[in-house]
Amino acid sequence: MKKITFITILLISAFLHAQSTYAIYTEDGSIGAGVNSLRYVNASGALSVSQPTTAPYEGTENYLLSYDGSTSYLHSIFFPRNAANTDDTIVDLSAFTHYNIAMKTTSGTSFYLRMRGNGVTSKVLIDPASNIYGFSNDGQWHFMSIPFADFVPDSGSFSLTTISEIFVFRSVDPLPDSENDFELDNIYVSDSEVLSVSQNNFADFKLYPNPATNNLTVKSSEILDSIKFYNVLGQEVLFVTPNRNDQTIDITDLKSGVYIVKLKANGKTTSTKFIKE
């Protein structure tokens, strides 16, 4: 699969619901079939799009969205196209559970990743300052595997079976009158969470018991630099610096619910889910 001048040419499959992944913009051949091509629309009038080949996350090129500071927000829309690339089409993503994307930027702005299905928008907030998906605005590539369940629809009419806008990038707050560049790569959906290369190289670790009520133990084969807990809103609610291989953490003050636990050891990070009962 090759990314060709704003049009991603991919194989199409008649067995979409049997696939474990579905490609949107990627050159990773292991991901398999996906959309035939993409149409890009600059909805804010303040962006230019290109495909540099200098340092993509994977393959030979990636998308670069360059903001020129002329408006107060960013808004980019990518539409799936039919096999002949003559018209936009509708895509059924109901067989999948996670939206996967690699991004790189030094911009401090928060933004939404959005989809539109059945004419209704569904979005997830990405905050470089405190993001539960492992994203940072440090100018390096970061791979995120985001559960569809974390996308918040504008109404109950949203449907994954009728996706008309397969990737939408929209800033949250007014942007400073300066350049903000965002690079995108390796975009696809999957039927389970996908770990990035750096996550796969993370030291072996255990987190137990899960669910837990009073105490949670984390053990690693490497020295744990930090352990951070985030709630479903992306807010950091607990921070521990063990500087050791194992740590038992008092979680009695946490409210019952689902949390993302982000571990850092020897310059590598990984995230896992934890349930507080």
Give the pLDDT confidence score for residue 2 in this predicted structure. 40
What is the pLDDT tens value at each position of the chain, 277 positions in all? 344 334 433 333 333 445 789 999 988 777 878 998 899 998 876 678 888 888 888 888 899 998 877 777 788 999 999 989 999 999 999 999 999 999 999 888 889 999 999 999 999 999 887 777 889 898 988 999 999 999 999 999 999 999 999 999 998 877 766 667 899 999 999 998 887 655 555 667 888 998 999 999 999 888 999 999 988 666 889 999 999 999 999 999 999 988 878 888 887 777 777 889 9
Residue 42 near residue 72 (C-beta atoms within 8 A):
no
Number of H helices, E strands in the chain: 1, 21
pTM: 0.69
d(C-alpha 143, C-alpha 131), whole Å: 12
Residue 85 near residue 36 (C-beta atoms within 8 A):
yes
Count Cβ neighbours within 10 Å for each residue of 105-118 and write b for 16 or more, e otherwise: bebebbbbbbbbbb
Give the pLDDT confidence score for residue 259 in this predicted structure. 85
Query: Which tokens hold the place of 124?
Result: 């997830």
d(C-alpha 27, C-alpha 51), whole Å: 13
Alpha helices in 194-248 (DSSP H): 197-200
d(C-alpha 38, C-alpha 4), whole Å: 10
Give the pLDDT confidence score for residue 256 in this predicted structure. 93
The amino acid occupying position 259 is Y
> Domains in the chain, please, with CATH?
2-194 (2.60.120.260), 199-276 (2.60.40.3080)
Give the pLDDT confidence score for residue 7 in this predicted structure. 42
Give the pLDDT confidence score for residue 29 in this predicted structure. 73
Using a 10 angstrom Cβ sphere, with 0-12 exposed, 13-18 middle and 19 or more buried, the burial of residue 148 is middle
Give the pLDDT confidence score for residue 53 in this predicted structure. 82
H or E stretch including 4?
strand 2-4
The owner of tokens 């996908």 is 194
The pairs formed by 202-209 with CB atoms below 8 angstroms and a separation of 24 or more are: 202/263, 202/265, 202/268, 202/269, 202/270, 203/265, 203/266, 203/268, 205/263, 205/265, 205/270, 207/261, 207/272, 207/274
